[in-house]
Amino acid sequence: MFQRIFLVFVLIILLVSNPAKGQRDNFDYVNPSPPGGRIQIGLITDLNSEVLRYTFENATTIINAELTTQLEARHAEIDYGNSMQGVERLCRMMEEGVGAVFGPSALTTGQHLMNVCDSKDLPYILSYMSDSNEGFNLHPHPADIAQALHAVISAFEWSRYIFLYQNAAYLSILDALMSIYGSSGPFISVVRYDLNLNGNFKSVLRRVRKSVDSRLVVVGSSESVAEVLKQAQQVGIMNEDYTYIIGNLDFHTFDLEEYKYSDANITGFRMFSAQKPEVQNLMREMGYLQKLTDDERFNDGDTIDSSNIDPDDEETQERIRQKEIDNEVIRNGSCPITMEMALLYDAVIAFAETTKHIQYMPQPLDCKLDADNVQEDGSTFKNYMRSLDFDRNTLTGRIIFDGPRRKGYALDVIELQSTGLVKVGVWEENKNFTFERPPQQRQVTALDDNSMVNKTYVVLISVPNPPYASLVESHKKLHGNNMYQGYGVDLIKELADILGFNFTLKNGGSNYGSFNKTTNTTTGMLKRIVDGEADLAITDLTITSEREEVVDFTIPFMNTGIAILYLKPQKSEPTTFSFMDPFSKQVWKYLGIAFLSVSLCFFILGRLSPTEWDNPYPCIEEPEELENQFTINNSLWFTTGAFLQQGSEIAPKALSTRTVAAIWCFFTLIIVSSYTANLAAFLTIENPTKVLENVKDLSENKGGVQYGAKKNGATRNFFATSAEPIYIKMHEYMSNHQEFLTESNQEGVDRVTNSDTKGGNTYAFLMESTSIEYNTVRNCKLQKVGDPLDEKGYGIAMKKNWPYRDKFNNALLELQEQGVLAKLKKKWWNEMGASVCTSGSDSGVVNPLAVNNLEGIYYVLIVGSGMSIVYGVTCWIFHVIKKAHSYEVSIRAAFWEEIKAVVDVTNNERVLKGAASVYSRSRNSSLESIDSFATDSDKDESSSSSSSAEASDAEENE
């Protein structure tokens, strides 16, 4: 409704202004021929006007060669989004008698112009994505783009992804996708990337990086989608973890050079290829593709002789045409022909095709509001145009209309690889889509005088020597390079793809070769390279200074070092005293010391504390003697009962002895709990017996282990030339025991595997750590012992001063940067034939608890016992002083009396009424009552106690 009101408003303005018909502001006449026998077609542009005008002109010129009624192209340029200016230019064209109008890219402007054309029955053709059902639109409908996206997403088997769109105009694709999925489909996170309308999408892309989804479908305008990819790389989501599907059909025009080696999977669509002849012709006419001379076509070192080119030789001409495309068209992985240009070209072709079948002579039309004239043959022309079905001379393929929507076309599914965009499939409506990826080709370096392209070299490998090279197991008889597989075979294939050479693999045997400076002779593979029988040798060939005197090496493609291959530790046989394993010997020793020390504390504190002296006869109120329960035997028994958590009939009474008992019980709780826990681990996990820990143990033949290495190789030479005493000793051992040396690494591995561990006749093999790693993941009986003894690398051997050494080095660096070397190692070490063995450390080993694990509880025991002893001695001293004052004897005499009673360890009874006692010879000659003697915590008697009561007590005691 708004559009029609706006249209009426524009027509009123035009009616009022009513400029002269001869006025031609901003109009360009491409062919100023008289209109007789010609049909004028008008182009209105608002963006990219120059290239669209050239495309429009070239399409008209090309198609006029086939037409009897020529087409005359007219062009008008307007400001983007200026609908009033667009309607004004349209009316000028209609007054000149145009037969069709090709509209601008702005959606609102195009909608207004379409309404004007519909009102005058004038064909209106547009070439941008729209879900409108009016006019002729050669661009695929959003619903069809959604079907193509659905086909690729289904092929990828995505269960969830992010739908990244520019604005609401592209939500029609999402609506169509949701209609296809119905009630069941993947989890889709819908995110708009152009939130601020300022071209900065990084804040949204950072949210994408933090999300759990790494698969994205991106739809939007060509400029914004290209910027999304650029900013995605800047925020760190353009790597191997992310996969992109681009829903913009101009993907082939993007500058993708920066993303070729990002390892991100980027997939898109295109309606045409740069290799199509019609596309090439358009590029030549527009200056994108230079017409090279015969000599210029091959000035980069191609093997074709330009002086002998036969113009009738179709194969040669095809190579020339392909070379023009490769050298001139695809710049940084992009093509200059956009979808807008291609669809405009095809729109002219479609209009011209209709004029071949129906007579159409358009008449000038009046744009006045009260004018009711329409194009007489307009409806007939449009109806016939909707019935077209052809693909000749088109850039974007077959053109057929279903109403206003285009159908019948196919979309190439393209994928970005290191060589550029590669076609991996074709999507067509109502047909099943499958990926048809061709073998990935690497970009061959530019040809020069030192080129390796199409040259063949002999490459030596060592067979069998897995994982570097081995024979392919097959029921068919294989020949040539197909007979071999392995890391080295794959590596030379990768290098051949980059450098463009061919190669022939030959078995060079197990002798890699060495150089004897004395005799100036070489052996093994090195000799064959020096003699010219082979060009390269690729295997686990170590780079050494000795070998580099006769051959050259590339940079290392793998780093390694000499290590020890040995059997995994065997489970030890249980011993008689295996119950003592949970604690170390030192812990057991300290535990015995603690046991005796605490028992002694009980004995001493028991004799010092008055509270521990009890009346042995409870029925006698005034006993003549007292008895102490903490004898040596009882102290040991009490400590033992507490340690075994069983208790005893002895119960401490004094505060000092109770404190020691509490500390000892706490100590035993921790000790027993720790012992129980570690014992359970020892019973469930048996500790293996390790014979070898490092190279020192091996050199000393610890446990009777014999050892050796490969007879001829860098490992043996390492010990022969080393100045380290331990390695000299090992060299002498191996020299004196030639029977322990092997002809190949595999023989050494087999010898280790078949060692007799029970008989003590075990064997260790010295070899490169990478080979050990390969064998340990395949044989669970084997392990690597110790750290590598040295650091070295494997390189590709070649002739001395070979001119292609730098090319190989650069190619190896490229493979390393792209992660190809790491992938190859993972493939042949951890995937091909690997078992469930792990290369980690012995996680099941249980170690006995040492003193440092339990030292804390020992500190608690020592401090607690010490405090108890100090407290007990202090109470005893106060008791003696109190008793001396009570009996009015000297403190010295009282101390001497009490000390004699304490140190008399053979007697656990104390006589209270003895004539020899210092207390009997005192002036009062009285003894303390049992109550006053029985405690060390009683305070002095009250000052109100009478002396007569004390005298009577003394008489009774006497």
Bind-site residues: 542, 547, 715, 768
- Rounded alpha-carbon distances, angstroms, from residue 89 to 98, 105, 110, 424, 874: 12, 15, 13, 44, 118
Three-state SS at 265: strand
First-to-last alpha carbon distance for the chain, in angstroms, is 134
The token pair at 878 is: 């106060």
Region of residue 289 (left: phi > 0; alpha: psi -120 to 50; beta: else): beta
- Rounded alpha-carbon distances, angstroms, from residue 356 to 56, 391, 835: 19, 15, 72
Residues 246 and 149: their CA atoms lie apart, in Å, by 9
The amino acid sitting at 716 is R
> E strand or H helix at 643, and its extent?
helix 632-643
The token pair at 75 is: 């062009």
Structural contact between residues 252 and 334, judged by C-beta atoms closer than 8 angstroms: yes
Q: What are phi and psi of 407, to 5 degrees?
A: -135, 175
Residues 656 and 121: their CA atoms lie apart, in Å, by 117
* Three-state helix/strand/coil letters over 757-811: CCCCECEEEEEEHHHHHHHHCCCCCEEEECCCCCCEEECCEECCCCCCHHHHHHH
SS3 content of the chain, % helix, strand, coil (to 5): 45, 15, 40
Residues 564 and 748: their CA atoms lie apart, in Å, by 11
The 10 Å Cβ neighbour count of residue 618 is 8
Q: What are phi and psi of 406, to 5 degrees?
A: -85, 140
- List CB contacts of 462: < 8 A, sequence separation 6 or more: 468, 469, 507, 508, 509, 510, 512, 525, 539, 540
Q: What are phi and psi of 92, to 5 degrees?
A: -65, -40
Q: Residue 756's beta-bridge partner residues?
A: 761
- Of 851, 929, 841, nearest in space to 887 by CA: 929
Structural contact between residues 17 and 84, judged by C-beta atoms closer than 8 angstroms: no
Residues 514 and 521: their CA atoms lie apart, in Å, by 8
Structural contact between residues 818 and 261, judged by C-beta atoms closer than 8 angstroms: yes
Structural contact between residues 854 and 587, judged by C-beta atoms closer than 8 angstroms: yes
Residues 361 and 369: their CA atoms lie apart, in Å, by 24
Length of the chain: 958
Q: Residue 344's beta-bridge partner residues?
A: none
Three-state SS at 175: helix
Residues 3 and 8: their CA atoms lie apart, in Å, by 9
Which residues are part of a known binding site for L-glutamate?
542, 547, 715, 768
Burial of 696 (0-12, 13-18, 19+ CB in 10 A): exposed
Q: Could you tell me how far CA 4 lies from the centroid of its own chain?
A: 58
Residues 201 and 205: their CA atoms lie apart, in Å, by 6
Q: What are phi and psi of 626, to 5 degrees?
A: -120, 155
Residues 408 and 428: their CA atoms lie apart, in Å, by 8
> E strand or H helix at 848, and its extent?
none
DSSP state, residue 469: B
Sign of CA dihedral 416, 420, 424, 428: positive
- List CB contacts of 949: < 8 A, sequence separation 6 or more: none
Structural contact between residues 118 and 134, judged by C-beta atoms closer than 8 angstroms: yes
- Of 607, 561, 625, nearest in space to 936 by CA: 607
